């Protein structure tokens, strides 16, 4: 006899709804849990990356003299490292170094375009000269934006310098990055002016930077804080305090930089001399730098800073050579100039030996 299978008893309607609600809640927890886990992983990774970069990558780079590699690293890794600010604390201190270096990359490109423009002018190619000048200004505009961004991160981490309060420094690297941020601010203004564009760099940034250098120990930092302050004094009308001589201060800073093996003050001195149109002093600074790097090796802990100073001195020398000869500073001839008197070579009269 065939059995008729009874239909399975159905769950009460309320229980079905309850089971559906539980399923939805469980699914939601699982999915949100994935998001929470991911955020935890991202945050941990971000914290590790920031800490490693600050404690190891930056000090390692500062001991290197490969400026091109440092430039490439900053441009390539800045978006990655800065993106961790979306999941953890903003890496403001690290950003100061990243954008200072990346700004230097753009400024170096601008210098190359300037040399191309000067070369084209000497060759009588006006169109090529103008095109190179346009490329120069575009690169300077990019440099200004990068430097200005570094300045903003500097203010976010250390506080606004115009407040008049000096920050507390955890270590020497933190103090150095503070000084690097001041340089970034000044470079932002300089690049903006040269680019003939407007990106919103505060026009009082020079005087702000000059005051903020008083938060740094001048002797400890190779005379650079005073050199930076004296350069601002020489460039901004009315900024010079009574009884001060900016170039006397720069001379003293140069000696401190030479002894320390970190000659960044030479760059500030050269900029101040250029601004005053003092060509004799400018040549003297370039000669002095060339002699110093031959006589005293760079400080191993700050090799990158000293190499950066030399690169900028070479750039100033290259511009002078290009304007007057059509080519850059000859290899191995930094500190010499096209119109230097040739050394008298002693010759022997062979007739007396015959």
Query: What pTM, to 2 d.p., does this model score?
Result: 0.85
What mean pLDDT do residues 293-316 have? Answer: 96
Whole-number Å distance between alpha carbons of 198 and 192: 6
Q: What is the pLDDT of residue 2?
A: 47
Q: Is the pLDDT of residue 3 over 80?
A: no
For residue range 197-233, list pLDDT tens digits in order: 999 999 999 999 999 999 999 999 999 999 999 999 9
Q: What is the pLDDT of residue 67?
A: 94
Q: What is the DSSP letter of 332?
A: T
Q: What is the pLDDT of residue 22?
A: 52
Q: What is the pLDDT of residue 165?
A: 86
In the block, residue with structure tokens 């506080």: 159
Average pLDDT, the chain: 88
Q: What is the pLDDT of residue 24?
A: 54
Q: Is the pLDDT of residue 25 over 50?
A: no
Whole-number Å distance between alpha carbons of 215 and 315: 30
Q: Side-chain half-sphere of 33: how many Cα atoms within 13 Å?
A: 6
- DSSP output for 72-130: HHHHHHHHHHHHGGGTSS--HHHHHHHHHHHHHHHHHHHHHHHHHHHHHHHTT-HHHHH
Q: Enter the tokens of residue 320.
A: 């002078």
Q: Which of 41-55, 137-151, 190-204, 264-278 has the lowest mean pLDDT?
A: 41-55
For residue range 155-164, list pLDDT tens digits in order: 999 999 888 7
Q: Is the pLDDT of residue 11 over 60?
A: no
> In this prediction, what percent of the chain has a pLDDT beyond 90?
72
Q: What is the pLDDT of residue 352?
A: 56
Q: What is the pLDDT of residue 34?
A: 57
For residue range 123-150, list pLDDT tens digits in order: 999 999 999 999 999 999 999 999 999 9
**Per-residue confidence band for 312, with pLDDT thresholds at 50, 70 and 90:** very high
Q: What is the pLDDT of residue 177?
A: 96
Cβ–Cβ < 8 Å for 67, 304:
yes
In angstroms, the first-to-last Cα distance of the chain is: 145
Q: What is the pLDDT of residue 318?
A: 98
Q: What is the pLDDT of residue 54?
A: 85
Whole-number Å distance between alpha carbons of 304 and 298: 9
For residue range 317-334, list pLDDT tens digits in order: 999 999 999 999 999 999
What mean pLDDT do residues 89-117 have? Answer: 96
What mean pLDDT do residues 269-294 have? Answer: 96
Q: What is the pLDDT of residue 281?
A: 97
Q: Which of 43-52, 69-78, 189-198, 285-294 has the lowest mean pLDDT?
A: 43-52
- DSSP output for 157-222: HH--GGG-PPPP-SSHHHHHHHHHHHHHHHHHHHHHHHHT------TTHHHHHHHHGGGS-TTTTT
Q: Is the pLDDT of residue 181 over 60?
A: yes
Whole-number Å distance between alpha carbons of 210 and 184: 13
How far, in whole angstroms, is CA 280 from its chain's centroid? 29
Q: What is the pLDDT of residue 28?
A: 52
Q: What is the pLDDT of residue 84?
A: 86
């Amino acid at each position: 006899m065939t059995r008729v299978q009874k239909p399975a008893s159905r769950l009460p309607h309320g229980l079905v709804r309850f089971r559906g609600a539980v399923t939805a809640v469980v699914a939601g927890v699982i999915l949100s849990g994935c998001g929470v886990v991911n955020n935890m992983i991202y945050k941990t990774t971000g914290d590790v990356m920031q800490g490693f970069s600050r404690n190891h990558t930056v000090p390692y780079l500062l001991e290197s003299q490969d400026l091109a590699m440092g430039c490439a690293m900053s441009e390539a890794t800045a978006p990655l490292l800065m993106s961790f600010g979306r999941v953890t604390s903003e890496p403001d201190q690290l950003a100061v170094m990243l954008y200072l270096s990346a700004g230097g990359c753009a400024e170096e490109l601008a210098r190359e375009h300037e040399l191309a423009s000067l070369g084209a002018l000497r060759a009588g190619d006006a169109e090529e000269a103008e095109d190179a000048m346009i490329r120069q200004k575009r690169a300077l505009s990019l440099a200004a934006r990068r430097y200005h961004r570094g300045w903003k991160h500097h203010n976010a981490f250390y506080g606004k310098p115009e407040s008049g309060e000096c920050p507390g420094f955890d270590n020497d690297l933190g103090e150095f990055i503070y000084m690097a941020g001041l340089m970034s601010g000044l470079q932002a203004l300089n690049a903006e002016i040269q680019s003939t564009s407007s990106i919103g760099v505060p026009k009082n940034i020079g005087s702000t930077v000059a005051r903020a250098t008083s938060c740094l120990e001048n002797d400890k930092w190779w005379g650079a804080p005073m050199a930076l302050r004296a350069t601002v004094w020489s460039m901004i009308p009315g900024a010079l305090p009574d009884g001060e001589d900016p170039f006397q201060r720069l001379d003293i800073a140069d000696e401190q930089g030479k002894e320390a093996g970190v000659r960044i003050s030479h760059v500030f001195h050269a900029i101040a001399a250029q601004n005053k149109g003092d060509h004799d002093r400018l040549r003297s600074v370039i000669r002095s730098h060339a002699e110093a790097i031959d006589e005293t090796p760079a400080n191993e802990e700050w090799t990158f800073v000293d190499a950066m100073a030399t690169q900028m001195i070479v750039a100033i020398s290259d511009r002078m050579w290009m304007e007057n000869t059509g080519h850059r500073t000859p290899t191995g001839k930094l500190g010499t100039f096209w119109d230097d008197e040739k050394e008298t070579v002693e010759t022997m009269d062979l007739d007396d030996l015959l």
